[in-house]
Structure 1
Amino acid sequence: MSYSNFKNLEIIKQKFDLGIKSADSLFSDVEDINPSLLLTQLLQENVPLALNINTEKARSEFIIAPVLMEVRRLFKQQVSLFSGTDFSVDETQDLNGYCDFILSASPDQVFIEAPVVCVVEAKNENIKAGYPQCIAEMVAARTFNEQQRRPLRSILGVVTTGSNWRFLRLEGRIAWVDFDEYLISRIAKILGIFAHAITSATALND
């Protein structure tokens, strides 16, 4: 069994002893960060193209990846970004397989190093269907950080179609799902949420 086999929230709750709750405006206090001119121009060209092609691959390459590259630029390449990388952490707990995208608060771009701050799951249409897989990957990120003795208070998770972004937070025994869903037109808010998670992780691990 791998991350992609997790398709039911009840299984997630039982297997990892988690509560799953939704919250209004989970990130409402996070400050916006305006996108660079480069990202603005890329999204103006890429979003219509990706939506017309309408495949998960196109959305990942033309929308999601440029947004995550912008996050890396915000932190002057002191954050590493991995795409389609094997992230097998504990096969006995079925925490194995490939993640669409991973952000780590480490500049090492050769291997994934702790602390892993965020996992991003790309979906072509149904965001809700991606929750179980994303939460399993968040549990894996927390386990990985603990194994490397770089634990974080919380792990950020994202399920996105590129045009729509839904954020999750794993904290303690609760996986929180933000009730708000952000359109790509709210890119400043999306960047702000990523930056807040990375800044918090960096401060904790200094």
Structure 2
Amino acid sequence: MIAELEFTEKFIDTRVSEFAIRENLIFPTLKAAYRPYANLFSLWSHRFIRYDETLVGTPDYLVSQRSNLGKTVLGKPLLLIAEAKKNDFDGGWAQCLAAMVAAQKMNEQAMTIYGIVTDGKMWQFGKLEKDCFTFNERLYTLDNLSELMGAWDFIYTQLQAQLMCYVN
């Protein structure tokens, strides 16, 4: 992954558009973090979710419990990822939190829902427990990939533990 990011940084203008950021920075990072956990979870890009008329939308990315019905069926949404468009992390968190609330209600359980906001180079992590939202003000960066992947591993470990408590 490091070699791929170095190549991207050297030869590709990732700031030319939101699509360039998504395709060259965000999704490759999401996929690398997801790969070790692919048997338990599903990674979705721009998957429509709906709880009711108010809580409806298409998060940039989400991670759900892997459905027993196959990879085309959405399991319980557990982690929502929003792009901080134009580096607007506050706006990204507003979008992410709305999706987190929808996911929490869709799951119909007191599960913790995790959220991430990123501009492709900087990543910020948060969670929604019942009606309390908190986020880590620290920004993880692609420049320190081992720390970023460590944060991802922590989130996936939390999701695994949670699934053990809330089996189906």
TM-score range, shorter chain: 0.7 to 0.9
Give the superposition deviation at 1:124: 3.4
Counterpart Cα distance in 1 of 2:8 and 2:20: 9
Counterpart Cα distance in 1 of 2:72 and 2:13: 29
Judge which range, 43-52 or 95-104, deviates more.
Answer: 43-52
Match 2:61 to one of 79, 98, 101: 101
CA distance 1:163–1:113, change in 2 (3 Å): same
The answer to whether the 8 A contact 1:102-1:119 is kept is yes
Give the superposition deviation at 1:135: 0.6
- Taking CA–CA contacts closer than 8 Å with sequence separation of 6 or more, which of the two structures ends up with the larger relative contact order? 1
**Percent of pairs with identical residues:** 26
1:176 matched residue in structure 2 = 134
Counterpart Cα distance in 1 of 2:9 and 2:117: 17
Does residue 119 (structure 1) correspond to residue 77 (structure 2)? The answer is no
CA distance 1:194–1:136, change in 2 (3 Å): same
The answer to whether the 8 A contact 1:163-1:183 is kept is yes
The answer to whether the 8 A contact 2:14-2:25 is kept is no
CA distance 1:47–1:99, change in 2 (3 Å): farther
2:114 matched residue in structure 1 = 156
Does residue 42 (structure 1) correspond to residue 4 (structure 2)? The answer is yes
Secondary structure at the counterpart of residue 124 of structure 1: helix
Match 2:28 to one of 66, 86, 100: 66
The answer to whether the 8 A contact 1:156-1:170 is kept is yes
Q: Give unmatched runs, 5+ long, in structure 1.
A: 1-38
Q: Give unmatched runs, 5+ long, in structure 2.
A: none
TM-score, normalised to structure 1, is 0.70
Count residues with an aligned counterpart. 160
Give the superposition deviation at 1:75: 1.6
TM-score, normalised to structure 2, is 0.85
Q: Please report the RMSD computed on the Cα atoms of aligned residues, expressed in angstroms.
A: 1.9
Counterpart Cα distance in 1 of 2:9 and 2:66: 29
Counterpart Cα distance in 2 of 1:47 and 1:117: 31
Amino acid at match of 2:59: C
Match 2:124 to one of 149, 163, 166: 166
Give a deviation string over 1:176-202, Cα, whole Å, max 9, x none: 121111221122222222222222222
Match 2:96 to one of 122, 134, 137: 134
Amino acid at match of 1:166: Q
